[in-house]
Amino acid sequence: MSFPARRMRRLRKSPAMRRLVAETVLTPGDLVAPLFVREGISTPNPIASMPGVVQHTVETATLEAKRLAALGVPAVIVFGVPELKDAAGSGASDRDGIVQVALRSLRDSLGDDVVLMADLCLDEYTDHGHCGLLGSDGSVDNDATIERYAEVAVVQAEAGASVVAPSGMMDGQVAAIRRGLDGAGREEVAILAYAAKYASALYGPFRDAVDVKIAGGGDRRSYQQDPRNLVEALAEVRLDIEEGADMVMVKPALAYLDVISAVSGNVDVPVAAYHVSGEYAMVKAAAGHGWIDGPAVALEHLLAVKRAGASFILTYFAGEVAEAIGG
């Protein structure tokens, strides 16, 4: 066999050689762990469609964040499950709302050891399950909603969030939130914009986790992106950065690796990717049947997302994978 026919084999000879030439590195520092905190429970609640993930009490969420920090995971993103929901999603901006209580507890016990992110949306808090306020015709009212988002951002910042992450896909939401935060003297709080968020069928288990059902069997296609579009994702990202986003996100991850790749090649801010609940559930379900090696597939998924260009990854595998790969 003539040179360089066996070069590829030479460079795969031993684990050390493979490590030497590895192009992509995944460390616990690349991971952000989502935490669900539920109001009115005294012990954690398992989520049937997300084996290994629970709805936390404030106390167990705080313990879990400490455990994650010790494993080298630098950030958590907090989602709230309130006891009561209403049309305006009041719980989202209530100073004693569940996310605010959790953020205060996390901040008190962890200080700056973990970056505290707060998902900023109304769907967990509205009785109709939409990400915004409904107008008289029943559709989501963009401009009224972004004013609510600005209020929520300030309350989350006051409770201890270092990063707010608007996930509602309203036009102008980043600008409204930035104005709200700056107006309240919270210039130091960063915005991680869910910039290219698709209307995906992969969010099902998440909606179990936060008890969200969209009224009338509706969907989010009038505000989330159409999976057929890539160029539109670049426009969404550009607009969010112009409005003041400090970091942008692509969501979901694996079915949108082309989007992650295009976005990361186009911007000079960190690009996050969200490996979502359905992506997690598929791995857990197949592994539970013994059909795939779950931990190996999880690692392969996250490596692929990193290789596509993500700076960091929100994933329900954060703790498990951080334990497996070590610091």
Site string for ligand PBG, 101-140 (x = CB under 6 A): ------------------x-x-x-------x---------
Residue count at the site for ligand PBG (CB under 6 A)? 10
Site for ligand PBG in 209-228 (CB under 6 A): 220
| Residue 73: partners with Cβ closer than 8 Å, 6 or more residues away | 28, 29, 31, 32, 33, 114, 318, 319, 322
Q: Which is nearer to ligand PBG, 121 or 175 (CB)?
A: 121
Q: Which of 126, 167, 173, 264 binds ligand PBG (CB under 6 A)?
A: 167
Instruction: Given the residues 197, 213, 284, 306, select the one marked as catalytic.
Output: 197
How far apart are CB 4 and ligand PBG at their closest, in Å? Answer: 44
* Integer angstrom CA distances of residue 180 from 50, 149, 174, 189, 238: 35, 9, 10, 11, 21
Q: Which is nearer to ligand PBG, 113 or 147 (CB)?
A: 147
- Are 166 and 173 in contact by the 8 Å Cβ rule? The answer is yes
Q: Which is nearer to ligand PBG, 180 or 316 (CB)?
A: 316
277 contacts ligand PBG (rule: CB under 6 A): yes
Q: Which of 164, 276, 302, 318 binds ligand PBG (CB under 6 A)?
A: 276
Q: What element of type H or E holds 274?
A: strand 271-275
Active site residue 284: no
First to last CA, the chain: 41
DSSP result, 186-249: -TT-EEEEEEEEB--GGGHHHHHHTT---GGG--STTTSBPTT-SHHHHHHHHHHHHHT-SEEE
Site string for ligand PBG, 48-87 (x = CB under 6 A): ----------------------------------------
Instruction: Given the residues 85, 213, 251, 284, select the one marked as catalytic.
Output: 251
Q: What element of type H or E holds 66?
A: helix 58-70
How far apart are CB 187 and ligand PBG at their closest, in Å? Answer: 25
How far apart are CB 207 and ligand PBG at their closest, in Å? Answer: 6
Give the residues across from 34 on adjacent strands: 77
Buried-exposed string 11-36: b where 16+ CB fall within 10 A, e elsewhere: eeeeeeeeeeeeeeebebebbbbbbb
Q: Which is nearer to ligand PBG, 128 or 220 (CB)?
A: 220
Interacting residue ranges for ligand PBG, rule: CB under 6 A: 119, 121, 123, 131, 167, 203, 206, 220, 276-277
User: Active-site residues: which are they?
Assistant: 197, 251
